[in-house]
A and B are shown apart, each in its own frame.
Chain A
Amino acid sequence: MSIDWITVGAQIVNFLVLVWLLKRFLYRPILDGIDAREAEITARMGEAAQIEAAAQQQKAEYEERIEALQASRAETLEAARQEAEKERNAMLTEARRQMDHEQAERAAQRAEDARAFRAELQKSAAEALLSLTRKALTDLADETLERRIVARAAARLPEVTDRLRGDAKQAVALTRDPLPEEVRAHLRDALDAVAPGAALSFETDPVRSPGLSLTLGSVQVDWTIGDYLEDLEAMLDESTNGVSAGDPRDAG
């Protein structure tokens, strides 16, 4: 066991060189790498903390907004429900008003149609009744309708004689169609019998019902076929109402 001092010196130098070499190639790179990584981790953790803080802030904001929305949700729903109810009532009112208006229009139209139909029916019935009456008189009694009308009016003149006053100087015979001359003469004779000296004039009105209207002063003697038509219409209405009331389909 001996010490070689030259070797000792060489080993000291070797050791110092090794210290420098390992410092250069081992410790510095490793420590710098660790420090750099720690710095990077610290920076990333800082960024993560900032991101997390921002996320937490956003989360708090969203939660606050959600709470506010939930709080106002009931009010919004109630307001919307009331608005919808109001709109619904307005629409129903408008629909009812429009329906009533249309019903009134249809009713007026139906009434107008019924009135026109009734007038047309009355006109046709008058024509038919007049024609039938004239034919029946001709066939059965060899008479004309105009003569019978004038005869009827002449027969009623004595009934109104006591109502004549001093103004019975002018008489007017109003018919729809012009009267034959022989009928006019008959009427004139009958008038002379109750009102001597009274002037008789003949007038026509195409729109009036067939018949005769004799005006003598303040007295008027009428016979028109319209009275019969009114009776016929009343009978038809009564029959129609009776049929409608007795129809089980209508009842059902």
Chain B
Amino acid sequence: MQLTPDDTILLTFFGIGLNATIVNTWIIMALLTGVSALITRNLRPDVPPNRWRTALEVMVGGIVGQISEVTQRRDPRILYFVGTLFLFIVTANLLTVVPGFDTPTASLSTTAALAISVLVAVPVFGIGSRGLGGYLKTYVQPSVVMLPFNVISEVSRGISLAIRLYGNIMSGAVIAAILLSIAPFFFPVLMDMLGLLTGVIQAYIFAILATVYIATATAAPDAHQDKKDMS
């Protein structure tokens, strides 16, 4: 029994194997991009919105609203990053119900890649907001003694992001496979339904935690201190 789609090699180019994680990621990327391009291709002010466009507007508006609630400001760069995280993860998690589709989020490589992206994005947004000195100063607050603890905190929360998402999705897929072998008619359906709910929740948790980390890094010094005091 394979626990990760990384082990499933679908194609080989010039001696480099393309596993199911990468290929399925491309499928999800094509699906998201294609649907978005298809719906927004005739998006002009003089064309009345249809139901698909309205659905996209509701979805994007919901993401913007959640980000605005956390960051208390409207930054489109955070929307691009966090919104893409959420849409990719939720789409991948929902596709677990498709038979034979190995979702990429069940791969620790994928979740690690996403966690690394968040780990890199947080200082990038922080430096972009506060400048390099202002961001690095946050690691020695409230005193220099806290520097190693702050660094460990940054790394550990990235690891926790990766492990949490991978564990939830991989465990759901493994449990579904086990139940499919034991009681193939009833329990897998229930587990898939539960997996859909869990997948959406995990996507929300991953995205909202990334938003919180970015908001903490980009907040004003006073607000940053207040958030640390509250935590």
Measured CB to CB, the residues of A under 8 A from B are 1-12, 14-19, 21-23, 25-27, 29-34, 36-37, 40
Contact = CB atoms under 8 A, between A and B. Distances in A.
Given A14-B25, A33-B53, A26 B60 contact: yes
A30 to B, nearest CB: 5
Contacts of A3: 108-109, 112
B57 A12 contact: no
Given A11-B113, A25-B33, 13 more contacts: A1-B108, A3-B109, A7-B109, A11-B114, A14-B22, A15-B113, A19-B81, A21-B33, A22-B32, A22-B36, A26-B60, A33-B45, A33-B53
7 contacts: A5-B109, A8-B113, A11-B25, A14-B22, A15-B84, A29-B40, A33-B40
A12 B113 contact: yes
A33 B57 contact: yes
A40 B113 CA distance: 42
Given A3-B108, A33-B43, A33-B53, A27 B113 contact: no
Contacts of A26: 32, 36, 40, 56, 60
B212 interface: no
A22 B87 contact: yes
B63 to A, nearest CB: 9
Contacts of B43: 29-30, 32-33
A18 B91 CA distance: 13
Contact of A8 (B81, B87, B112): B112
B21 A11 contact: yes
A1 B107 CA distance: 9
Q: How large is the interface on B (under 10, 10 to 19, 20 to 34, 35 or more residues)?
A: 35 or more
B102 interface: no
Contact of A27 (B19, B53, B80, B116): B80
B36 A25 contact: yes
A6 B107 CA distance: 13
Main secondary structure of the interface of B (DSSP, over half): helix
Q: Which of B26, B60, B113 has the most CB of A within 10 A?
A: B113
Given A23-B80, A33-B57, A1 B4 contact: yes
A10 B110 CA distance: 9
Contacts of A33: 40, 43, 45, 49, 53, 57
Contact of A7 (B21, B80, B84): B21
B29 interface: yes
Contacts of A1: 3-4, 108
A7 B26 contact: no
Given A12-B117, A15-B113, A19-B84, A31 B108 contact: no
B148 interface: no
Contact of B60 (A2, A9, A31): A31
Contacts of A2: 4, 6, 108
B162 to A, nearest CB: 9
By Cβ-Cβ distance, the 8 closest A-B pairs, closest first, are A11-B113, A29-B40, A26-B36, A7-B109, A25-B36, A25-B37, A21-B33, A19-B84
A27 B19 CA distance: 30
Contacts of A25: 33, 36-37, 40
Contacts of B88: 15, 18
A40 B46 CA distance: 10
